[in-house]
Structure 1
Amino acid sequence: MSYRALLRAVSPAFFPLGLLARLPYAMAPLATLILLESATGSFTFAGIAGAAQCVAIAAGGPVVGALADRYGHRVVGVTAAVSNVIATLALLPASQMDRPAMFLTATLTGLTQPQVGPLVRVYWSHTAEIRLLPTALSYEAAVDETTFVLGPALVGLLTPISPVAPVVATAVLLTLATFPFALLHARPHVASAERTAQKLPRWSMTAMFLAMAAIGAVFGAVQTGVTAYADSIGQPAAAGLIYAEFGIGSALAGAACAWLPRKFKQHQRYVTFSVTLFLGTLSLLVFPVPVAIAVASITVAPYMVSLYALTERLAPPQKAAIAVTILCAGGPLGTAIGRAIAGNLADERGAEGAFLVVPITSAAALILAVAAFRHVGRRSVRGPQGLPGCAVPPSRPVSGVDRKGCGRGA
């Protein structure tokens, strides 16, 4: 499916504003780390506060999703953006106070984090035609990876000016991009009498959450391994460039997912891309680091696109936002765990030790994928309450597709 059709589906401002609206999410952890380390002189405290912020993002995400499902994405998105601006700016005076105040404020910035990426995916699932949805999800994966390259890079450019500058820039972007994006493009509240009767499938959501945690651990271990490698060659500044290579490769692979054939069903993609993720991450143990990062990077986004697509399909229509935000909560938790384990191994064995974590966690993702595939096989036609066997979930508008086609796959 051509991206031209996607450009015609929404207003032209949707795409640049949506990209900028996501940058604060990518900037906030590093900006907070730099500010608190500068204020206290302690990487240990800054790291602990940063970890608390990541846990708060994971805990607050499903709450934002549940509120969005109940009260509408627009009002919740706008409220979260305003709250996050206040919490982010509060970091500035807090950095001049005692450590408990810094820790509390860093946690609040995580709890109020606007869930732009997850809610935009739900927006597409409710508004895009069936034929456009794979293209939309591929685009979203590419944008996510792009922001995680641009966000830290912007923080790096601003830090020499002042440790305060990245935090101020984050607040400015929240005000000028995240807030108007939620106001203009988020879905308004749509009442539903079925809301209270609908439940999320627990087994499937648990599997998806753990699968996202696994890819989060891959990110955390790769970041740690790349940093250790750059230090070992005496060029610590190279870490950012090498990790940017990882993000760029993943973004390109995510964009390419739009051209996958529709006969390649979603649960088949999930297993296939779990296999390629495992094989790609094995390259970190075989090839030189710059080459291995390039190889591994192209296996990440396709795996994540399949996770988002499956989660969107297994959720009841009026629980889509909380389902996707629960999925996304696994990312920062996995990243924190991956960093912690890889950091210990890096201290003992250098970059090779840190990179050892990556294929192990991707193997765990593969095991989950196989288990999920068997689950789909036992329940091949369950509609929106289970892993997908349904070509047209009720949450989507129909365009030339018969709803009775449920069970043919997608």
Structure 2
Amino acid sequence: MKSVIELIRAREILSGPGRPTVEVELTTADGIRVEASVPSGTSKGKYEAWEVYDGGKRFRGLGVKKAAENVNLEIAPKLIGESVLAQRKIDDIMIELDGTKNKQRLGGNAILAVSLAVAKAGAQAAGLPLYRYLGGLGGVRLPVPLATVISGGKHSPSALDFEDFLLIFDGFTCFAEALEALVEIRYLLEKNLQKKFGLVADDGGALAPPINDNTQAFDLMLEAVEQAGYGGKVALGLDVAASDLYLEDRGLYKISGREMEPAELIDYYISLAKQYPLVFIEDPFDQDDFESFAKLTAALPDRKIVGDDLFVTNPVRIRMGIEQKAGNTLLLKVNQIGTVSEAYDAGILALQNGLAVTVSLRSSDTNDSFIADLAVGLGAEEIKLGSPVRGERNAKYNRLLKIEEELGESAKFAGSLR
């Protein structure tokens, strides 16, 4: 049989922020060789696929030698001789081998690394670019870039409540133009913040100015947009990460020093959407608060109300959202569910039921550019990659530039299609 797996080898490597993660090398009997590595998130939903870590003192407990060992000793022997073109079969073998609901025995980080490698090898075996292999002939749409340029939340050195303050580049005719605008605006924003505040902390490529007013962050961002000459072409977005702000024992959210009922928070978001070109609100409520998600979706039907921790790229939770009309956009993170097949199914389920899809990287990501091809293959409207100032982010931006160039005149840009 052509392109059967001959070798799978996993190892521990470092992600962009210097955190251990799993890389898998896969070779086939006919000479295909690929590598794939997996990301991890700093802020995680409680329903995500489980990641296996070593514990102990090494890397503050975050080593992944155990996960790599699970690949080498348990997964690899089961897959030798399987065709890399049998993606779903291989993913199902690993899911069955793990035997748990959330991949906690072998680890989502172990399983996904193999799944990604199989997809890459499958594309080579089929003689197709990865985005075509994943999405067929329909894979011609380049996503709108979403970039976190100011950071807040519990993991940021700033005092802002919300985790990500985003710029959304949907007023352009192609991806390359949108990326050029992002680079220029991000540069000007950094210079402006340095003039106002002196040395400004950098949080994974996003800026963390010493401010605590959420609207001030928007004002600073729009100032840079206007200064760069892109007024009217760039919108705003938020990742609230509201589960981190939720006082579960009291059912309240603590924002800007105030404790708010869900209804008050809905009014707050509506006020922001009236005051600013705010078109994207991610995780505005706790990950189990489907009711408030539904109310905000109804109140702001022309804005993207985005489920990240709410949906965790899981078809079961996506269906719950569809039934309750809670959210209108899926934030798709492949490692939340743990295999390529399941992530793709989640994206298709969302699209078939009228939800938009935004593909996203994780805060502790690698130079693996798989999700760039996935976004094009799925026809996702947007991709959330962060500021273009670190290798793990720019690997994905650069891959999208190459895809757009390769597609030539057949390339469509999601921003120009709205």
TM-score interval w.r.t. the shorter chain? under 0.3
Higher relative contact order (CA 8 A, sep 6+): 1
Q: Which structure: greater helix fraction?
A: 1
- Name the TM-score, length of structure 1 as normaliser: 0.26
Q: Which structure: greater strand fraction?
A: 2
- Name the TM-score, length of structure 2 as normaliser: 0.26
